[in-house]
A and B are shown apart, each in its own frame.
Chain A
Amino acid sequence: MPKIFTPKVVTANHLLAGDVIYQTATGWTRKLAEAEVLQDEADADLRLIEASQQVDTVVGAYLADVALSDGVPIPAHFRETFRATGPSNYAHGKQVELS
């Protein structure tokens, strides 16, 4: 039986701002909920290669596991939760700017 593929998104830091971004079908977003969910391993690998080639836009692209809530991606690991929302010590950064 083939190994079950955990859904993924391509994420990176933005070259100029340094903040966390996610790949969409057509570009990049700062909201995980808007990210393109990759359900197939080969597709995910290809999308990561495409993202990594955008050296004048993004830094350190990688595939992050996600869970799906009504089809919308949510973090599968607490590190990705903090990347998606910002620091938890007090409300500043992404959680304030995106709200």
Chain B
Amino acid sequence: MYSYSEFDSAFLAERNAQFRAQVERRISGALTEDEFKPLRLMNGLYLQLHAYMLRVAIPYGTLNSAKMRKLAEIGDRWDKGYGHFTTRQNIQYNWPALKDVPDMLDALAEVGMHAIQTSGNTIRNVTADHFAGAAADEIADPRPVAELLRQWSTDHPEFQFMPRKFKIAITGSPNDRAVTKAHDIGLRMVERDGARGFEVIVGGGLGRTPMIGKVINDFLPEADLLPYLEAIVSVWNQIGRRDNKYKARIKITVHEHGIDEIRRLVEDRFVQTRATFSGVDQQMLREIEGHFAPPTFKTASEATFKDAYHSDPLFRSWADTNLTAHKADGYKIVSISLKKHGETPGDATGDQMRLMADLAEQYGHDELRISHEQNVILPHVHVSDLPALHAALKNAELATANIGLISDIIACPGMDYCALATARSIPIAQDIATRFDDLKREHDIGQLKIKISGCINACGHHHVGHIGILGLDRAGVENYQITLGGDHTETAAVGDRVGPGFSADDIVPAVERIVDTYLDLRTSQDEAFLDTYKRTGMAPFKTALYPETKVAAE
């Protein structure tokens, strides 16, 4: 875990003092809203439907127990006793009062956290594989590079007023859990001839014009990373469209100019940027790597795990769905579901956050991660500790055994909170989860990712959901469009729209018809929903969703 240097702390203290004075001037009336808005957005403060919302960055999704406890304290003290973890590995507080926000930022600074560049046309929080540093399939931990990127991009003078926001995701594993192909820049660690480098993907994004990112460089040596990224961002900063905010993201620039032309421009620019990097960045990276040394893994008997697995069906069910292979012998990665059936995806109460912090300290080498799928990860837990961990989670309603299943739904805040939303998304997620829990079918259905957005900006990643749901306002009524076959992994794909949307009352039965169709069509329980969809195409699902259309056509 990276610890702030004196420079980091001093920078943050100065920024927080600046913002405190800006808030005071806004409250006194010395600043108008038009003057204040860009200042508050630079510090992560939005004004939403019912209240201000403070978006706090959790860099590359990594927390320790002290940070998690501070997030809990902030929720209890200045919010309504909870926080909302988002698809950007951030936490959002939905109810702060304006006058309290400077105190909240100071509290965050106590544990080396901030809300800088969680909004505005800047480089946003760098996101990473939530299993980073633990996954068995990983080449190397990508977080030191992610931290280097955080330091490089924070307050970068050239990149504070860009055409639009800019998002970077990084993974150190060939199995992409960071949705790298749906980011402005995606970085996938690769090895060639024993040397480490990155496949650099550019121009991905969701939103109103979904695009899968394109490879601009299939092997960039690690030492060239910062100058190369600086070249990409500066090329886009210059030629990206500022005339139309809907065409400003780099995905449109790449689409309009073509990846070959963008590559040429970046290579030209890279010659200049490369010369300005003296190698200090690599010295800093080596130093940062020291902060991310793996924990000292223990050895212990696995008997307690095996006993519990055989004797406790609830534990077995949880172990089967919520554990992932770890690189160290005897260890597992634990995913704590924030998707209890019927609850709001991604919400955790202050008490739950504190418990997870305690458990991380007791059983997890003091490490936690936030996933873009809105769950909490304990990356390093020895199997001997799993029964006790599960028991503690169960008492706090945090032991839902549904990771990767149909009720493990990504949902954006939607119109329950968000000022941009055109429809609600959380209640749809609640209804789907409750419905399939009542049916007791989700373990039989298997791996199925439902992702729900409450507007075309696609914070809920609906384009890359196996089943994607997009909430719209159709003539003053909530209406939900379905896409099928989206994929958020290394084989990323944008889902296909099936047909006309469904009302809020009809969307859950529609999802049920899709699932029934899959269960009828699959060759065996081993054929996951996405595989069946790829094999059969959309036709049988369309027939199930719109039977009247079929009758009319015959």
Q: Could you tell me which A residues sit within 8 Å of B by CB distance?
A: 13, 15-20, 55-56, 59-60, 77-79, 82-83, 86-90, 92-94
CA of A18 to CA of B23, assembled, Å: 13
Question: Are the CB atoms of A93 and B50 closer together than 8 Å?
Answer: yes
Question: Are the CB atoms of B50 and A59 closer together than 8 Å?
Answer: no
Question: Are the CB atoms of B50 and A78 closer together than 8 Å?
Answer: no
Pairs across A and B, CB under 8 Å, 11 listed: A16-B27, A16-B99, A17-B97, A18-B51, A18-B96, A19-B50, A78-B476, A82-B49, A86-B50, A87-B50, A88-B424
Q: Which chain B residue lies CB-closest to A86?
A: B50
Closest 3 CB pairs of A and B: A56-B29, A87-B416, A18-B51
Given the contacts A55-B32, A78-B478, A89 and B426 also touching, CB distance less than 8 Å: yes
Question: Are the CB atoms of B33 and A18 closer together than 8 Å?
Answer: no
Residues on B with C-beta less than 8 A from A55 are 29, 32-33
B95 on interface, CB distance cutoff 8 Å: yes
Residues on A with C-beta less than 8 A from B417 are 87
CA of A90 to CA of B94, assembled, Å: 14
B430 on interface, CB distance cutoff 8 Å: yes
Residues on A with C-beta less than 8 A from B51 are 13, 17-19, 93
Question: Are the CB atoms of A78 and B47 closer together than 8 Å?
Answer: no
Q: Which chain B residue lies CB-closest to A89?
A: B426
CA of A11 to CA of B430, assembled, Å: 30
Q: Which chain A residue lies CB-closest to B347?
A: A89
Residues on A with C-beta less than 8 A from B28 are 56
CA of A92 to CA of B427, assembled, Å: 14
CA of A90 to CA of B50, assembled, Å: 14
Question: Are the CB atoms of A94 and B50 closer together than 8 Å?
Answer: yes
Question: Are the CB atoms of A93 and B99 closer together than 8 Å?
Answer: no
Question: In the assembled complex, how far is the CB of residue B241 from the closest CB belonging to chain A, in whole angstroms?
Answer: 27
CA of A79 to CA of B421, assembled, Å: 9
Question: Are the CB atoms of B97 and A82 closer together than 8 Å?
Answer: no
B396 on interface, CB distance cutoff 8 Å: no
Residues on B with C-beta less than 8 A from A20 are 49-50
Residue among A13, A15, A87, A92 with the most chain B CB within 10 A?
A87
Question: Are the CB atoms of A88 and B416 closer together than 8 Å?
Answer: yes
Residues on B with C-beta less than 8 A from A93 are 50-51, 80, 95
Question: In the assembled complex, how far is the CB of residue B22 from the closest CB belonging to chain A, in whole angstroms?
Answer: 14
Q: Which chain A residue lies CB-closest to B345?
A: A89
Q: Which chain B residue lies CB-closest to A78?
A: B478
Question: Are the CB atoms of B416 and A18 closer together than 8 Å?
Answer: no
Identify which of A18, A82, A83, A89 contacts B52 (C-beta below 8 A): A18
Q: Which chain B residue lies CB-closest to A17?
A: B97
Question: In the assembled complex, how far is the CB of residue A39 from the closest CB belonging to chain B, in whole angstroms?
Answer: 21
CA of A15 to CA of B28, assembled, Å: 11
B375 on interface, CB distance cutoff 8 Å: no
CA of A98 to CA of B315, assembled, Å: 43
Residues on B with C-beta less than 8 A from A56 are 27-29
CA of A15 to CA of B26, assembled, Å: 9
CA of A56 to CA of B35, assembled, Å: 13
Identify which of B33, B95, B97 contacts A60 (C-beta below 8 A): B33
Residues on B with C-beta less than 8 A from A15 are 26-27, 33, 98
B477 on interface, CB distance cutoff 8 Å: yes
Question: In the assembled complex, how far is the CB of residue B102 from the closest CB belonging to chain A, in whole angstroms?
Answer: 13
Question: Are the CB atoms of B33 and A83 closer together than 8 Å?
Answer: no
B90 on interface, CB distance cutoff 8 Å: no
Residue among B33, B50, B52, B476 with the most chain A CB within 10 A?
B50
Question: Are the CB atoms of A77 and B33 closer together than 8 Å?
Answer: no
Question: Are the CB atoms of B344 and A18 closer together than 8 Å?
Answer: no
B459 on interface, CB distance cutoff 8 Å: no
Question: Are the CB atoms of B97 and A18 closer together than 8 Å?
Answer: yes
Given the contacts A16-B99, A87-B417, A60 and B47 also touching, CB distance less than 8 Å: yes
B179 on interface, CB distance cutoff 8 Å: no
Question: Are the CB atoms of B427 and A88 closer together than 8 Å?
Answer: yes
CA of A88 to CA of B32, assembled, Å: 32
Q: Which chain B residue lies CB-closest to A65?
A: B476
Question: In the assembled complex, how far is the CB of residue A15 from the closest CB belonging to chain B, in whole angstroms?
Answer: 7
Question: In the assembled complex, how far is the CB of residue A65 from the closest CB belonging to chain B, in whole angstroms?
Answer: 10
CA of A19 to CA of B98, assembled, Å: 11
Residues on B with C-beta less than 8 A from A18 are 47-48, 50-52, 96-98
CA of A16 to CA of B27, assembled, Å: 7
CA of A90 to CA of B424, assembled, Å: 13
Identify which of A59, A83, A88, A89 contacts B47 (C-beta below 8 A): A59
Q: Which chain B residue lies CB-closest to A15?
A: B98
Question: In the assembled complex, how far is the CB of residue B379 from the closest CB belonging to chain A, in whole angstroms?
Answer: 29
Question: In the assembled complex, how far is the CB of residue A42 from the closest CB belonging to chain B, in whole angstroms?
Answer: 25
Question: Are the CB atoms of B344 and A90 closer together than 8 Å?
Answer: yes
CA of A87 to CA of B82, assembled, Å: 14
Given the contacts A55-B33, A87-B416, A89-B416, A77 and B476 also touching, CB distance less than 8 Å: yes
CA of A64 to CA of B49, assembled, Å: 14
Given the contacts A18-B47, A93-B95, A82 and B33 also touching, CB distance less than 8 Å: no
Question: Are the CB atoms of B344 and A89 closer together than 8 Å?
Answer: yes
Residues on A with C-beta less than 8 A from B432 are none
Question: In the assembled complex, how far is the CB of residue A74 from the closest CB belonging to chain B, in whole angstroms?
Answer: 14
B410 on interface, CB distance cutoff 8 Å: no
B515 on interface, CB distance cutoff 8 Å: no
Residues on A with C-beta less than 8 A from B26 are 15
Identify which of A78, A89, A92 contacts B80 (C-beta below 8 A): A92
CA of A88 to CA of B415, assembled, Å: 9
CA of A92 to CA of B32, assembled, Å: 30
Chain B 432-482 interface residues, beta-carbon cutoff 8 Å to A: 473, 476-478
Residues on B with C-beta less than 8 A from A19 are 50-51
Residues on B with C-beta less than 8 A from A94 are 50
CA of A15 to CA of B430, assembled, Å: 32
Question: In the assembled complex, how far is the CB of residue A37 from the closest CB belonging to chain B, in whole angstroms?
Answer: 20
Q: Which chain B residue lies CB-closest to A92?
A: B80
Q: Which chain A residue lies CB-closest to B415?
A: A82
Chain B 412-428 interface residues, beta-carbon cutoff 8 Å to A: 415-417, 424, 426-427
